[in-house]
Amino acid sequence: MRKILIVGAGQSGLQLALTLREHDYDVTLMSARTPAEIRTGRVMSTQAMFHTALQLERDHGLNLWEDEAVAIEGLGLSIAGPDGGRALDWFGRLDHPAQSVDQRVKMAGWAELFEERGGKLIISGVTTADLNGLAELYDLVIVAAGKGELVGLFDRDAARSPYTAPQRTLALAYVHGLAPRPEHPDSPGIRFTIAPGVGELFVIPAYTLSGNCDILFFEGCPGGPLDCWDDRPEPAAHLARLLELIRRYAPWEYERCAEVELTDANATLAGGYPPVVRHPVGLLPSGRSVLGMADVVVANDPITGQGSNSAAKCAQSYLDSILAHGDRPFDEVWMHSAFDRFWDYAEHVTAWTNALLSPPPEHVQQILGAAGANEAVARRFVNGFDNPRDFQRWFLDPAGAADYLAGV
């Protein structure tokens, strides 16, 4: 039985560990926190998982919260005008519902399920020195911890990483009590507001420790009025500041916030990181190679909501590569080929995400404007969140956009 060590208990690491157990691999997963510590800790992220990624969870029996979590039926886009109103406002429907489950709920539940399915869960932080000794005991070592010392094993790929600094300042809160949008009271949807030159606000229906809720999530342009979180306020002050910013830059969303309250004492987060692509193979002092996965090697800004989706697809891609390799050694050549197989998908996510971090060019403005008048355009844009490859053919290509818009 082949022995595999996975360091990191997030979406990608846990999903890969659980699915490898289906095929009787001897899998050890190392997590810095116990399931109980994860549940009672601070929120770790926003997330909105779309159909293809959700179906991967269903296929492996990992969709444990599907009956409880709210079904997200579409995505609405608003662009703030100079008068405090909306210069553009529309809602596009998804072909299949999306879903958002607080990672504290999911990762704690999956870690317990991993042990139930015969996996070895070790609670310990891991340094490079630790990994150097551990690697000798396994046929393959995968690093799925996107933060901490181990990320330093993987060098930045300058050719694929145009940024060296964060492109947005991030701040979020999980809340109860948000009223529905009056235009679509019976259609839960992600709301995406663009305040030109200032940043973006996302409102995401989600499921957390205390049931269904909403995530209020700001992305602020560096140096702008939303870049105001260096003091890391306490939760109540954090929410108050977030609501004041919503009042100023998205007043139509603020109208829904009269009764909001935090879901729990750990329901706020602020920070930021530079988008980066790293080389997928890290070299330990012993000379052994380790493979990076998901946001260890491809960390995109969350403006397109692709983090958990890409992590799920990376886990499936790596699973397929491992199974196809049989009993052969997991050498550097194989590691590069496994990453290249994933990058064939991830490069489209990276190109689209990086494009949204810049002011929209004329053809993108035309697309977003056309979506307000044409349901087919809105639907294609919204469903691209599930299939980012599609954006290459029109959203990222001025000629392709012109041909498409002329056709519809």
Rounded Cα–Cα distance for residues 142 and 169 (Å):
30
Q: With beta carbons less than 8 A apart as the criterion, state whether 7 and 30 touch.
A: yes
Q: What token pair was written down for 302?
A: 């969350």
- Residue by residue, pLDDT tens for the chain (408 residues) are 899 999 999 999 999 999 999 999 999 999 999 999 999 999 999 999 999 999 999 999 999 999 999 999 999 999 999 988 999 999 999 999 999 999 999 999 999 999 999 999 999 999 999 999 999 999 999 999 988 899 999 999 999 999 999 999 999 999 999 999 988 888 899 999 999 999 999 999 999 999 999 999 999 999 999 999 999 999 999 999 999 999 999 999 999 999 999 999 999 999 999 999 999 999 999 999 999 999 999 999 999 999 999 999 999 999 999 999 999 999 999 999 999 999 999 999 999 999 999 999 999 999 999 999 999 999 999 999 999 999 999 999 999 999 999 999
Tell me the one-letter amino acid at 318: Y
* Model pTM score: 0.97
Q: What token pair was written down for 144?
A: 């799925």
Q: What token pair was written down for 246?
A: 């919503």
Residue 161 vs residues 41, 63, 348, 354: alpha-carbon distances, Å: 32, 33, 14, 10
Q: With beta carbons less than 8 A apart as the criterion, state whether 377 and 408 touch.
A: yes
Helix, strand or coil, per DSSP, at residue 337 = helix
Tell me the one-letter amino acid at 226: L
Residue 326 vs residues 1, 20, 120, 288, 312: alpha-carbon distances, Å: 11, 13, 22, 20, 22
* Span 127-146, pLDDT tens digits: 999 999 999 999 999 999 98
Return the pLDDT at 183.
86
Rounded Cα–Cα distance for residues 329 and 352 (Å):
35
Phi-psi region of 223 (alpha: psi -120 to 50; beta: other; left: phi over 0): left
Q: Which of 45, 28, 41 is nearest to 123 (CA)?
A: 28
Tell me the one-letter amino acid at 313: K
User: What are residue 216's phi and psi, to 5 degrees?
Assistant: -100, 120
Give the number of other Cβ atoms within 10 Å of residue 19's Cβ: 25
Q: What token pair was written down for 217?
A: 């999530």
Q: Which domains are assigned to the chain?
A: 3-61+103-163+275-356 (3.50.50.60), 72-100+165-271 (3.30.9.40), 362-407 (no CATH)
The residues pairing with 152 across neighbouring beta strands, listed in sequence order, are none
Give the number of other Cβ atoms within 10 Å of residue 82's Cβ: 7
Return the pLDDT at 147.
85
